[in-house]
Structure 1
């Protein structure tokens, strides 16, 4: 085999090796960034979950101390439980949050409530207070259970 062919093959092999090393380094960097991004997202989700659990605890304490209307607390708790433990909404004693939500979710809130006729709002409030009164004991029991629940 001629010397020039041997040198050409050696150079081609070195070039191929260098390209493979560059490819491996690039893939390694991409993988390292992806893992860092995953760790960051996992930390964010863990912090968000912890924040939601803290909110649930605060709402449960507010119910126990009669610092919040039961209907409003049920709506908020139902929404938060859907994010961290949706299976609880079908289990006693927590299902009362879902039940109250289902009974009052058709009522206007926020700006829609302000834009609604006052007579209709009073009628809805009367209905909402009746639902609260009907489920008051179950809501308090569920709030106590929620406050003691470990997520």
Structure 2
């Protein structure tokens, strides 16, 4: 093999090695960026979950201390549990939150409530208070269990 061909092959090999090295460095940077993004997203989700669990515990405590209407608490707890552990809503004693939510689902809230006729709102409130009274003991028991539930 002539010497010039050896030098050409050596140069081609060095160019191939250089190109592969550039490709590897770029891929490493892409992987590093993706890993950092994934870790940031996981930290966000962990922080969000922790915040939701804290809200659940505070709502449960508020129920136990009669600082909140049971219907309002059930609606909020149902929504939060759907985000964190939806399977709890099908198991006793936690299923009372889903039951009350289902019974109150048709009632207007927020702006829709403000725009509804006052007599109709009084009728709905009477119905809501009856639901609260009917489920009061189960709601208190579920709140106590929720406050001590290991999420």
TM-score normalized with structure 1 length: 0.97
Query: Hey, what does 2:133 align to over in structure 1?
Result: 133
| CA-to-aligned-CA distance 1:28-63 (integer Å, 9 cap, x gap) | 111111111111111111111110000000000000
Uncovered stretches (5+) of structure 2, i.e. residues with no partner = none
Uncovered stretches (5+) of structure 1, i.e. residues with no partner = none
1:73 aligns with 2:73: yes
Query: Hey, what does 2:11 align to over in structure 1?
Result: 11
Query: Hey, what does 1:47 align to over in structure 2?
Result: 47
Alignment of 1:112-127 (within 5 A): 112-127=112-127
Offset at residue 132 of structure 1 (A): 0.5
Offset at residue 5 of structure 1 (A): 2.0
| CA-to-aligned-CA distance 1:60-101 (integer Å, 9 cap, x gap) | 000011110000000000000011111110000000000000
**C-alpha RMSD of the superposition:** 0.8
Offset at residue 17 of structure 1 (A): 0.4
Give the whole-Å Cα distance in 2 for the aligned partners of 1:88 and 1:31: 37
1:61 aligns with 2:71: no
Query: Hey, what does 2:35 align to over in structure 1?
Result: 35
TM-score normalized with structure 2 length: 0.97
Offset at residue 146 of structure 1 (A): 0.5
Offset at residue 8 of structure 1 (A): 1.6
Query: Hey, what does 1:104 align to over in structure 2?
Result: 104
